[in-house]
Structures are given as structure tokens and as C-alpha cells.
Structure 1
Amino acid sequence: MANPTSTWQTPSRRRQTEAKRTSILDAAEELFVSSGYELTSVDAIAARASVSKRTVYDHFGDKRSLYRSVLGRVDDALLVTIRAAVQQELTDQRDLREALLAFVQRLTTDVIPSSTYATFRHLIAKTAAAPQLPERSHEEPEKVLEERFAQLAADGRLTISDPRRAVQHFFALTMRLVLDETDQDPTGTVAKTEIEAIITDGVDVFLRAYR
């Protein structure tokens, strides 16, 4: 969505505008996570950000658009991590099994334990009123891996007719099972050996089906 305040500004004024925008996003994220979408008011966000209510509306239009901006910012941060994992772990020179294991291990150490991911999962939890990101944004992490799987198939390293379905299978066999295991653990301290076993089994099953 276009920024309602995006008119020509001097560099100094632009920095002030961006600082206010960031302050509003930070305040909104904290309150949406702690109180939920429905119970968080624009008045409370403005007070937390030390700006006027009018300033919040000038930057984001309404609470719904602000929520989507918060969710989009968190989603973008996760995408940076996922893209880096794809580029740095799923390299052409690496053994495929080793590369896939390293990729998933990277996600379990860099993504799942992160406060950014915890925020993302909290924000996308289904509620009656909270808006969601457009479908394209939800699929973006899978799209990044889908493109890499298509490349691996073109190089003859994987046998894939539908990269999107292959990615769905891959995440279901690995990340989804890890998340299920961690969600069911009330202490939040699933043994590292258990996570490694889930990942290894999932990658091996995936390769038996697709290599």
C-alpha cells in the first residue's frame, strides 16, 4: 500500500517521517502481540509511539492497514533469512542430502527460535477480526524454495514434475513435524537429538520419493 505521507520531502524531513513510521510499527507490533488485534486501539498505539492519533492515520490509513504493515514487515524479515539459507546451503557443489539437511537445520536454529518467527506465528493466528497478508505473501517462502527445487530438477539432481507440490511435501516431512513437536512440548525445550532425528528422517523420505 502506498504511504499516505509519501510526498516530496527534504532529507531531514524524510528521516523524521521514517523515524515516526518505524516508531508506530514498533508500538503496534508490541501491542498486537500482547493484546491482540481486536483489543488494540489506535489511541493506544499512538500513545505507545509518542505520536498523535492523526499521525498514525496519516501514515497507515486505518488499524487494518497498520496491522498488515506490521505483519508484512515481520514476513519480510523472515524471507531474508530463508533466502539466505537457500543461497548458502543449497549450493550446486554440495552433496544434495547434506545440503537439504543443512538447509532445514539452518531454519530450525535461525528461524524457529527467533523472536521474529514467534511474532509472525502469533500475528497470523486466526482470529475473527485480524486481517491476513495477501495469499501471495503467505506463499513467498515456499516460492523461494520452489525455484531452487526447479533448478535442481533441471540439473537432474531431483525428479520433480510439480516443484510446488514437492516443496509442500518437503516442509510437511521436516519443518511441519519439528513445529508439531515443539508446539506439543510444554517446556519449549525439545531435545536437539529429537529435532535432528525428525529432520534426518524427513530428508531421507523426501529423497527416496524425489531422487
Structure 2
Amino acid sequence: MTDTSPPARRKAGRPTREQAAARHEELLDTALDLFLEHGYELATIEMIAFRVSMTKRTVYARYPDKAALFLASVRRAIERQVVPLEVLEGLDNGDLAETLEAIARMRIGQVMTPKGLRLQRVINTESYRFPEIFVTHNELSTAPVVAFVAGFLDRAAAEGRIAPTDSGQAARAFMSMVVGGQVRAIVAGRPPTPEQIEERVAFTVRLLLDGLRPR
């Protein structure tokens, strides 16, 4: 006999797993906003809980103190900025200059988004207090891109298109020159125009490839 009774109802007020995950993400996003807005010292658990309509008890059930919440919010922001390997591979069209320019534009573009700019400013202002956020950002977000560029240069050297070099140092120097300078200007509130970005990226790529030209 077919059971025609209605399905059991979820206990009133109990969120679904998806709802709970969304609320947790809202908590981390809001925490990062308030840490940036007020600074780590002045932002409080009470302030964050109020902004997301949670009780302090609910927040403390997940994070034992403000430092733990701060680190979790920053790590999540960093993880959201990680570029999957398949995306990096998709930027490689076989042309040395065009591929390097595409990688540079991608990294600069990340910082120019509201979330990317927020993350960079938090790292700049609070890494003296929490050096682990700088390390985490480098390990999860920066190092994989540098490694991809180094591998790209290694392949180009093996094919005779550039001179053999220390690809790791070359990749780090390239990212520092082409991305670092633009990021500093963006974070300082003086973002370059699209035309300036194109000019600076093209110049840096030419400078790198001229230095690595087989002789």
C-alpha cells in the first residue's frame, strides 16, 4: 500500500544546510567589511553580530575570539581569489608576449574588483599583526601563478625561444614589475586607466623578453 502521508516537516526555525552555509558566508563577508572599515582594533564581535542579525553566542560558537574570525574571513577571501590551473592554461595561446600579457591583466584585474581591492587593503594594513595572512595569500594565490609563469618560461627555453634562465626568479621579477606597481597604485586610490595598464603591461613584457632573447 502506497504511503500517502505528508513528508515529515523540518523542525521550525532550523535552517537547511544550504541556508546555514549562506549565513556563514555572510558572516565572513561582513566581518571582513567591518575589519576594513574600522580596523582590527575597533571592530568588535558585537558589531559584526549585529550587522548580520546574529547573537554573539552564535558567532562564538563558530569562532572562539575575534582573531579567529578575522583569520577565517581573510582566508576565505584569499581562497575565492585563487585562479584554477585550467584558467591559467587557457591563457596560454602559444605566443610568449600575448600569454604573459594575459596573465598580467588577469592579476591586475583581480585587484581592481571591489572584493579584490578590499582583500589587498586588509592584507596591507593587518599583515604586521597577522603575518600569516601574507604567507597564506602568497601560498594560495600568488605562488601558483608564479609557478605557472616559471613553467611557461622553462618550456620556451627548451624550445629555444628564450635563453636558459632561472625561471623562478624571472617569474617573480615579472610579477613584481608588471603587477606589483599597478597594485600599489590601485590600493592607494590612484588606479591606472585601461590605456595605462595596457601600455605598462606591454612595456614590461617587452623588457622581460628582450632580456631573455637568445644571443
Q: What range is the shorter-chain TM-score in? A: 0.7 to 0.9
- Residue 192, structure 1, aligned to residue 191, structure 2: no
Contact kept in structure 2, 1:173 and 1:203, CA below 8 Å: no
Please state how far the C-alpha of 1:12 moved relative to its aligned partner.
5.6
Question: Does the aligned pair in 2 maintain the 1:77–1:116 contact within 8 Å?
Answer: no
Deviation, 1:53, is 0.7
Match of 1:6 in 2: none
- 1:60 maps to 2:63: yes
Q: Which residue of 1 aligns with 2:32?
A: 29
Give the drift of 1:17. 3.1
Give the Cα–Cα distance (whole angstroms) in 2 for the partners of residues 141 and 160 of structure 1: 26
Q: Which amino acid aligns with 1:142?
A: T
What SS does structure 2 have at the residue aligned with 1:51?
A: coil
**Letter matched to residue 194 of structure 1:** Q
Q: CA deviation at 1:119?
A: 0.8
Q: 2:174 aligns with which of 153, 156, 170?
A: 170
Is the CA contact (8 Å cut-off) linking 2:104 and 2:179 kept in structure 1?
Answer: yes
* Coordinate RMSD, CA, aligned: 2.9
User: 1:90 aligned to 2:74?
Assistant: no
Q: 2 CA distance for matches of 1:140 and 1:121?
A: 14
Find the aligned partners of 1:161 and 1:87 in 2 and give their Cα distance.
Answer: 22
Alignment of 1:147-186 (within 5 A): 147-152=147-152, 153-154=154-155, 156-157=158-159, 159=163, 161-182=165-186
Q: Does 1:146 align with 2:146?
A: yes
1:65-80 aligned at under 5 Å gives the runs 65-80=68-83
Corresponding pairs, count: 196
Distance in 2 between the 1:45 and 1:73 partners?
17
CA deviation string 1:3-54 (max 9, x = no partner): xxxxxxx996533432332232122122112111110011111111111111
Q: 1:62 to 1:182 in 2, by over 3 A?
A: closer
Alpha carbons of structure 1 residues 193 and 16: separation in structure 2 relative to 1, 3 Å: closer
Say if 1:103 and 1:18 are closer, same or farther in 2 by CA, change over 3 A.
same
Distance 1:208-1:141 versus aligned 2 partners, 3 A rule: farther
Q: Which residue of 1 aligns with 2:107?
A: 107
CA distance in structure 1 between the partners assigned to 2:22 and 2:194 by the alignment: 40
Larger radius of gyration: 2
Q: How does 1:6-17 map to 2 (within 5 A)?
A: 13-17=16-20
| Greater shift in the superposed pair: 68-77 or 129-138 | 129-138
**Matched ranges for 1:106-145 at <5 A:** 106-108=106-108, 110-127=109-126, 129=129, 132-133=132-133, 135-145=135-145
Cα gap change, 1:106/1:133 in structure 2, threshold over 3 Å: closer, same or farther? closer
**When the two structures are superposed, what TM-score results if normalisation uses the length of structure 1?**
0.78
Letter in 1 for 2:141: P
Given that 2:27 and 2:52 are in contact with CA atoms closer than 8 Å, whether structure 1 keeps it comes out as yes
1:100 shift after superposition:
0.9
Match of residue 206, structure 1, among 192, 195, 208: 208
Counterpart for residue 3 of structure 1:
none
**Gaps in structure 1 of 5+ consecutive residues:** 1-9
When normalised by structure 2's length, the TM-score is 0.76
Q: Which amino acid aligns with 2:92?
A: L
Amino acid at match of 2:88: V
Give the whole-Å Cα distance in 1 for the aligned partners of 2:147 and 2:85.
11
Is the 2:121–2:187 contact (alpha carbons within 8 Å) kept by the matching residues of 1?
A: no
Superposition deviation, residue 160 in structure 1: 5.5
